Amino acid sequence: MPNPRQLPHLLKLLDDDSPVVKESVVKELSEFGPSLNRELARQRITLSKDQQQLIASLLEEHNRAWLREIWPELMEIEEEKEKLETALGWIAEFQYGRAYPSKLTPLLDKLADDFESSVRKRDALTLAHFLFTKKQLKGVDTDYQNPFNSNLVHVIEQRRGIPISLASIYILVGFRLDFDIEGINLPGHFLTRASAGKQNYIVDCYRGGRCLDVNDLITLNNGALLPLSDLLQLECDSIAIIARTLRNLQNAYEQEKNEETVALMKDLLVAVEEEGGDEEESEEE
């Protein structure tokens, strides 16, 4: 754990000319994660604009280097849902910093435990109601392009996300409960297919975990009936979900004109597409 008492000393060392010293300082500052700003405020340390920009730039560079280095290990994971959870967990750590106390896996574990302890009828549909009604995980209605909408830790803690991040939570919590839930890679609006009993349902996690009816499917398909059989053909694996998430992040960081992180997302996407053979881009959602 970082030592808050060392913070004033570390900030002074940022001006050191030695690359070795600067790298050491960046590593120690990165351990504070998002708590760095809170600790600065608590100690009443005021940074100049130049200092703020320098710290932000150095921490981003440090986190990008870490994610780029660790990403090839993802391809060694064989189990589909483990691969998905690992990738999305790393993305959360990249954005928040690895010292951030909340981690994706324990948050998903808690959601599964809470469901089991509070719901009598346990199936994929009651899980959707639990997550998107009782736990109030909802679709964002403002700041849609924010890259943190793809950060599952952020989504769980803030209870707001975009379709694919909410669907990923549903899929990964359902996996813990042995429910049959998969992604539906519909262009423009990510959905899920959930099985309960012998029936398949299309669940829209962005709109409260609703099961879509015929009218909903017509609306999604611009006024033409979209058969369930066609939707089921769009069922996708974890590689496709990871790739689509990376495209969303690429678009979000392009909006912020963060060229270095855009380049990182492109490189990670290439590695994922090489494994999955998925080069078709979907609209952002």
Query: Tokens in use for 98?
Result: 């690895």
Tell me the pLDDT of the chain averaged across its residues.
Answer: 90
Full-model pTM: 0.85
Residue 112 has a pLDDT of 98
Per-residue model confidence as pLDDT tens for the chain (285 residues): 678 888 888 888 887 888 888 788 877 887 776 677 778 888 988 888 877 877 777 788 888 999 999 999 999 999 999 999 999 999 999 998 887 889 999 999 999 999 999 988 999 999 999 999 999 999 998 999 999 999 999 999 999 999 999 999 999 999 999 999 999 999 889 999 999 988 999 999 999 999 988 788 787 777 777 777 888 889 999 999 999 999 999 999 999 999 999 999 999 999 999 887 654 545 556
Distance, CA of 152 to CA of 145 (rounded, Å):
15
Q: CB neighbours of 191 closer than 8 A, spacing ≥ 6?
A: 163, 167, 183, 184, 202, 203, 204, 205, 212, 231
Residue 279 has a pLDDT of 47
Q: Do residues 262 and 254 lie in contact, with contact meaning Cβ atoms separated by under 8 Å?
A: yes
Residue 33 has a pLDDT of 66
Residue type, 101: P
Cα 212 versus chain centre, distance: 24
Q: Do residues 74 and 87 lie in contact, with contact meaning Cβ atoms separated by under 8 Å?
A: yes
Beta strands in 60-152 (DSSP E): 138-139
Residue 50 has a pLDDT of 78
Distance, CA of 193 to CA of 191 (rounded, Å):
7
Residue 284 has a pLDDT of 52
Q: Do residues 25 and 13 lie in contact, with contact meaning Cβ atoms separated by under 8 Å?
A: yes
